[in-house]
A and B are shown apart, each in its own frame.
Chain A
Amino acid sequence: MNHDGDEHITRRDFFSLVGWGGVMATAGGSAFSCYKFYFPNVLYESQKVFKIGKPSDYPMGLSEKWKKERQIWVVRNERGIYAMISICRHLGCTPNWFQDEQKFKCPCHGSIYDIAGNVLGGPAPKLLWRTAVTIDPVDGQMVVDFNHRQDPDPVSTENGLRVEEASREVEPFFLKG
């Protein structure tokens, strides 16, 4: 601090500082409260953790049973079951499943996926999400946690973006058997 008479803070400087400080603080506080006001704290959206029945309900292949209500596909392959979110990784449209070609195609911008969620073509930058699937020990039903997602970094190949299937078939994103 400098206590020389020349650089002394005058009474006028002090009040001007306090006054403008108060104005700025109020403006900043108002801006922050408007910003915060925009983020709802309580949501009334659909449940994000839900049951989808027993593993024995699902035969080999892809099931679109929960697509409408819960936005997931349930897939059984030779090794087990996984659940995939039916949201295109490009811009969030719902891809369509073509049984004869064994491919998902997105109607919005033409992204193509295989049944494992690998990108075969189109603009999608990442693979389809898989969600966590666990077994409820009480009634033996599968429990899907929609917000707990598997999102591995894909490798770029000649046939699109891929991830080693074995690395995806791990708990809690895969049910063996």
Chain B
Amino acid sequence: MSKLMNRISNWVTSTPFWKAVFRHGYEDTARNRSLTTFSNVLYHLHPVKTRRESIKIRYTWCMGGTSLLLFVILTVTGVLLMFYYVPDTRRAYQDIKDIMTVVSFGSTFRNVHRLAAHGMVFTVWVHMTRVFLTGAYKPPREFNWIVGVLLLVLTLLLSWTGYLLPWDQLALWAITVGTKMAAATPFFGVEGPFGAELGMRPDNDVKFMLLGGTEVGQNALLRFYVLHCVVLPLFVVVFLAVHFWRVRKDGFSGPL
């Protein structure tokens, strides 16, 4: 049996198609190992050689990579959920109910989406703590730390906007409270310090802009949907690209 498997695998890996896709095979040479990393669009996020100390789990806790993985999982499950979800106040709640009860594996995907979202908030915080404790934000990596903080903010905003979409009680009130805070912004919110003095009204302040209305309604649901599914993920991808690029280009902050 294993002989047959070997023959099949040898034949598959020797076909021109296989060789066109996987260029380097498993040949165990230094040159081949370098090429595997260097000539692959995803792998070459990493350098060909890494310092032995910096890839130990007890050093990195694997938290940055796990955050990225969770973001990918969130994107995939999120796109799947979008196929059954309509951001309409009359339908949204029923759509989520359908996803949870009658759509094949719908509840699994929603559960994974939610758990991964919680997990991502956690791993991003821990990643930040790890970077702080190892002093990895020190020169020349100051800017990358700032990008990291922005990614943390984006992660929290993604969680917050995703909250409204099921259109259940938790959704409505979490967003009511959150946007009421926006109304309390100094200068730009009607209830904030100096807001009323600057001519802010319930129908022209920053809360109105967020919600697209004076109350959490259809406009708010649509806005949060677009922010959650398009705008914020795009920002995350752009900042992630900068984040990784900077890790490579700024060099290591570790002991030289």
Contacts and interface: CB of A to CB of B under 8 A. Distances in A.
A92 B217 CA distance: 14
B204 A39 contact: yes
Interface in A31-67: 38-40, 43-46
A40 B218 CA distance: 12
B208 A45 contact: no
Given A40-B219, A147-B202, A92 B209 contact: no
A93 interface: yes
Contact of B212 (A38, A90, A91, A92): A38
Q: Which of A40, A90, A91, A147 counts the most chain B CB atoms within 10 A? A: A91
B202 to A, nearest CB: 7
Interface in B171-185: 173, 176-177, 180-181
B36 interface: no
A108 interface: yes
B180 A92 contact: yes
B195 interface: no
Given A38-B209, A38-B212, A44 B176 contact: no
Chain B: number of interface residues, binned into ranges:
10 to 19
Interface residues of A, number: 13
B215 interface: yes
Contact of A108 (B173, B202, B209): B173
Contact of B214 (A45, A90, A108): A45
A44 B89 CA distance: 13
A39 B217 contact: no
Contacts of B204: 39
Interface string A82-99: 000000001111000000
Interface string B122-142: 000000000000000000000
Contacts, number: 31
Interface in A81-122: 90-93, 108
Contacts of B208: 39
A41 B181 CA distance: 23
A45 B215 contact: yes
Nearest to B205: A39
Nearest to A48: B214
Nearest to B202: A147
Given A39-B204, A108-B173, A147-B202, A91 B180 contact: yes
A91 B150 CA distance: 26
Contacts of A147: 202
A93 B218 contact: no
Contacts of A108: 173, 177
B233 interface: no
A44 B212 CA distance: 11
B176 A91 contact: yes
Nearest to B212: A40
Interface in B201-225: 202, 204, 208-209, 212-215, 217-219
11 contacts: A38-B209, A39-B209, A43-B213, A43-B219, A45-B214, A46-B215, A91-B177, A91-B181, A92-B177, A108-B177, A147-B202
Given A38-B209, A93-B177, A108-B177, 15 more contacts: A39-B209, A40-B212, A40-B219, A43-B213, A45-B214, A45-B215, A90-B180, A91-B176, A91-B177, A91-B180, A92-B177, A93-B173, A93-B176, A108-B173, A147-B202
